[in-house]
Chain A
């Protein structure tokens, strides 16, 4: 902070500033506490109660948590979440890096770059309802892709037999554009001298990619990976809720919480406990991945 200037100290408070705080900033903060923090605290407290949402509560200690861990469906949901996130990360990171490098370092024409940038971002602006409906009816009956090969053909239709694969595909489909743009910016920020000296040394494009672009990109790739991981719990649920609503073993943790919280009204305390477990798992995973990748980067440098 700057020391007091000779004329006026612009940072110190006065009546006008207090009014500004009182009428705009503090109400905003109060609303924020009310809509985001208070529900969180409430769910933490009520997760120790047997509560149907309206009637009297009975304190039952950690019994809700114990029940969650002995519920087969919960482990199913956790397994699905992990599978979806894992494959989604692989697909998105690979393709986003590939496209970002192609659109910056390959010698495409300017028009081509603009075209691909425009198209690849389109899935990011669509609503979850549009995405899920189009893909749902698309895969319901798509024998035309499969004439003669029967690779994609399954007994009961692909939605019944391979729902997770489709969900992974759809989730990746709508994620790539955003992360591609993130990586394009990062690549454009790499100083040109690095390439020039590599050119002088006679390093080819592939070597440049491996020894210059990827190491320089490491922090952004870490950002992409952690961001996908952190967003996944919510994103998976938002996709699966309108798609299958957890049928055919496509339950995920977010949806598990949602269903207990809204439809099964006698188990609200249980739903809150599940939500907190979910948040804990998500935090630990994000933190661990972030730390691990940071350490790897430090080792490389």
Chain B
């Protein structure tokens, strides 16, 4: 099929091929150069940076990474930020996967009163931008903390609460995707399991989960990335430095490093924060991009 679509080589198609490649290469440079700059600046010494911000480093200044790692501000350290982020990502992803698959299964295959209402609630609220829920939610959690525990911070400055909120707020879009997938599972499979005396949990974990595994991997990869990178909600909720995520931590280190002109160390922090997500992207590039394909196929 591909062969037939190709037209014969002509002068104009050679020229247009060159022009298109030119565009693609220019954009590659625009995308890659700032990131390359970030990487080579992270191993550049302070004096070299002051002399010329964009020049390649003449000597590799690995010490920046030690500066970044050991820069413990009064209360916290880069390691702590990493651990906090990891805990939030792990808890949030686990809860997210459990909640999204269970809810989608029930919405797709159960027949109970209020099912339609529930579905509509999830779908309508998909249009509410989470940025607008943020402030009212913050006040709500503070008020509850005040009333229950006489501390306005207990439910906001709390990485477990933040993880839970990430999981819950990510539900609608993924439920939308999964419900239509689960609906397409033939009832015969479930019927056979029921005949064998399987309980709901068995059906859910042995039939539904394996079936939706590819799509579930995609949505949880997306979730991991979003949570790892999230900034605004974390900035609003997490107040004490010992609870900071990596994004917040780097921002709080920023001033100290730029004040002393140690951009190298600051960029070393950035490189370290990108590293896990970059590895994830390199390993799962297919799933991440094919996953985009799948979600698009349904939304479009």
Contact = CB atoms under 8 A, between A and B. Distances in A.
Interface string B220-233: 00000100111110
A40 B109 contact: no
Interface string A11-27: 11100110111001100
Interface stretch (A61-69, A180-188, A293-301): A180-188
B67 interface: no
Interface in A178-216: 178, 181-182, 185-186, 192, 195-196, 199, 204-205
B204 interface: yes
Contact of B247 (A108, A127, A135, A192): A127
Contacts of B35: 122, 134
B11 interface: no
Interface string B114-151: 00001001100101111111111111100000000000
Interface string B159-182: 000001100110110000000000
A20 B204 contact: yes
Interface residues of A, number: 100
B31 A123 contact: yes
Given A181-B292, A185-B293, A262-B236, A126 B274 contact: yes
A36 B125 contact: yes
Interface string A250-292: 0000100110011000001001100110110011000000000
B250 interface: yes
A32 B6 contact: no
Contacts of B172: 32
Contact of A129 (B125, B191, B251): B251
Interface stretch (A78-86, A159-167, A231-239): A231-239
Nearest to B118: A29
B-side interface mostly: helix
Contacts of A28: 99, 102-103, 168, 171
Nearest to B5: A195
Interface string B272-300: 01100110110001001100110011011
Given A106-B16, A118-B285, A254-B131, A32 B171 contact: yes
Contact of A39 (B53, B129, B136): B136
A121 interface: yes
B27 A19 contact: no
Contacts of A220: 296, 300
A202 B195 CA distance: 61
A173 interface: yes
A273 to B, nearest CB: 12
Contact of B131 (A33, A144, A186, A233): A233
Given A31-B168, A35-B168, A106-B16, A10 B109 contact: yes
B136 A42 contact: yes
Contact of A11 (B1, B109, B288): B109
Interface of A: 1-2, 5, 7-8, 10-13, 16-17, 19-21, 24-25, 28-29, 31-33, 35-40, 42-43, 46, 53, 95, 98-99, 102-103, 106-108, 112, 116-123, 125-130, 133-135, 137-138, 141-142, 144, 173, 176, 178, 181-182, 185-186, 192, 195-196, 199, 204-205, 219-220, 223, 230-231, 233-234, 237-238, 241-242, 254, 257-258, 261-262, 268, 271-272, 275-276, 278-279, 282-283
User: Which 4 residue pairs of A and B lie closest in terms of their CB atoms, listed nearest first?
Assistant: A127-B229, A261-B135, A39-B136, A234-B131
15 contacts: A10-B190, A16-B199, A16-B200, A24-B99, A28-B99, A36-B128, A117-B289, A122-B32, A128-B231, A137-B263, A242-B251, A258-B236, A261-B134, A271-B135, A279-B132
